[in-house]
Chain A
């Protein structure tokens, strides 16, 4: 079905080889940047599933990221659960929360869904700020290092071997999800809920599952980004941040898992090229979002030369 399978396989092989070779060839700073791209891409993949595939605008992604980061850090400091175990555990719990949030949105769509999920982000942020004894309140809390097999991973070069493979694996899952029965159900719901329901799909269950998946991906991303930055600041998990993730998804391409990676790369690496314009960065990101949503809502990924022909949007 793919138009140029040989090219896709070749490009994937080169990409894989580059990812394996990168730690040997790049400096610590660049590896740190790559980890940041990968972790952000995980978070944005969640948005691709819920908003891109299933068509439900979610502004709760920041909340999921915060819960993933804080949850696993608190498990580690208070109960001594290592991060390699804590992050998956917390992510499963957050996925369940996302599922419940999805179930509650049975009655609402469009504007109301956006407003309700925005409120969830605000509530989670306020809860983090006001639970001083557990989360360190407005001052934030330090994150313990990522320990596995007796080794402490702290630098970008060390965490690379955790963050990049996890992102790659979940990327493949999301990529294949779109072509599965579930992916087709999401597409049907996106195009017309009424029609999907008439075809016998359990719309509510699928919508809730999409929210659950976005919660899981957001929490894994948040859990992995936390040891990378080694500090959690509640100010970084508000509505502004949720719009930032949305902007990455739109600029990269909301319908495409690859778009999540491209968008994250643009937003993480662009500041390096705009050193002289640091105070204008926020404005540049906002303008990018506005220009893309008006002129090219399918994002950068739609410029992908390997795109398969005949696939509907």
Chain B
């Protein structure tokens, strides 16, 4: 029983981890927390649906088209809003990201309707018995993809020149541009990368959750995961996501189902108040 609960909640945790990775990528790279990221995840899954129903494409070409759309969306978010706001107050940036998310959500509600859509699984959703625990290939794929993306991003940031340029641009914009880093290109790359990541996450998680315009509210769980792990740490995002999934699963099974959602918001508040740098984060000291 316990093993089954833990294994099942790891899937939910991997979903949170995937979304948390996007948050951390944007925050680490550009210093902005994207409050509309959950809605961008939803939008990614909807782009596949739009390709299928409006253009009559088969599933895989529609996925390819959605990824192209994700690149365009990421470029639009940066070029249209975040770049013009680069010198605006943090308050304005936060409100703008909230607004971007709301626009995406309300666009979907207006054009695709408020109701849920069916979305196909990429892999078999039937379970396989392994060591007395039921495993679902479609769920395992999410765990695998999360770890894979973590590995790719980790290597990119820590081991390549481009990654170091990104970190330099984030730490000190002026300094980085003085040594020849095109800061605006770096930020554009981050927003595009995060947008593609959101679409991949959307396509993977849509069959598990209910694909409706409000699916983006899962973004809050992603925040919690990111905060729990440490907002600047990529491995922390994955650890935080999986930990949150397991805590939720245990609370939902052994205490009460009503507590399942509450616990993640409770964790969010508690971590923000007690340890804002998260489990694996490093506290940055604010200087005058």
Q: Bound state CA distance, A246 and B97, in angstroms?
A: 13
B-binding segment of A19-27, A81-89, A213-221, A279-287: A279-287
CB pair A279 B110 closer than 8 Å: yes
Does A294 have its Cβ within 8 Å of any Cβ on chain B?
yes
Q: Which residues of A contact B99 (CB under 8 A)?
A: 247, 286, 289-290, 293
Given contacts A119-B220, A283-B110, A286-B106, contact A111 B95 (CB under 8 A): no
CB pair A297 B110 closer than 8 Å: no
Q: A111-B231, A120-B269, A290-B81 are in contact. List 19 more A-B contacts (CB 8 A).
A: A51-B91, A107-B276, A110-B90, A110-B94, A111-B33, A114-B35, A116-B269, A126-B261, A126-B262, A194-B288, A240-B102, A247-B99, A280-B110, A283-B103, A283-B107, A286-B105, A290-B102, A293-B95, A297-B88
Among candidates B103, B261, B268, residue contacting A115 with C-beta atoms closer than 8 Å: B268
Residues of B within 8 A of A (CB): 27, 33, 35, 81, 84-85, 88, 90-92, 94-96, 98-100, 102-103, 105-107, 109-110, 217, 220, 223-224, 227, 231, 258, 261-262, 265-266, 268-269, 272-273, 276, 288
Q: Give the 3 A-B CB pairs with smallest separation, nearest first.
A: A282-B106, A290-B99, A286-B102
Does A268 have its Cβ within 8 Å of any Cβ on chain B?
no
CB pair B223 A115 closer than 8 Å: yes
Among candidates B110, B220, B261, B273, residue contacting A104 with C-beta atoms closer than 8 Å: B273
CB pair A123 B262 closer than 8 Å: yes
Q: Bound state CA distance, A194 and B288, in angstroms?
A: 7
CB pair A279 B109 closer than 8 Å: yes
Q: Which residues of A contact B105 (CB under 8 A)?
A: 282, 286
Q: Bound state CA distance, A55 and B90, in angstroms?
A: 10
Majority DSSP secondary structure for residues of A touching B: helix
Q: Bound state CA distance, A285 and B99, in angstroms?
A: 9
CB pair A294 B84 closer than 8 Å: yes
* Interface bits A84-128 vs B (CB < 8 Å: 1, else 0): 000000000000000000001001101110111011101100110
Q: Which residues of A contact B107 (CB under 8 A)?
A: 283, 286
CB distance from A100 to the nearest CB of B (A): 12
Q: Which residues of A contact B88 (CB under 8 A)?
A: 297
Q: Bound state CA distance, A280 and B268, in angstroms?
A: 33
CB pair A290 B110 closer than 8 Å: no
Q: Which residues of B contact A240 (CB under 8 A)?
A: 102
Some 27 contacts from A to B, beta carbons below 8 A apart, are A55-B91, A110-B90, A111-B33, A111-B94, A112-B227, A112-B276, A115-B33, A115-B223, A116-B268, A116-B273, A118-B220, A119-B224, A119-B268, A119-B272, A122-B220, A122-B261, A126-B258, A239-B220, A240-B102, A250-B95, A280-B110, A283-B103, A286-B103, A289-B102, A290-B81, A290-B96, A297-B88
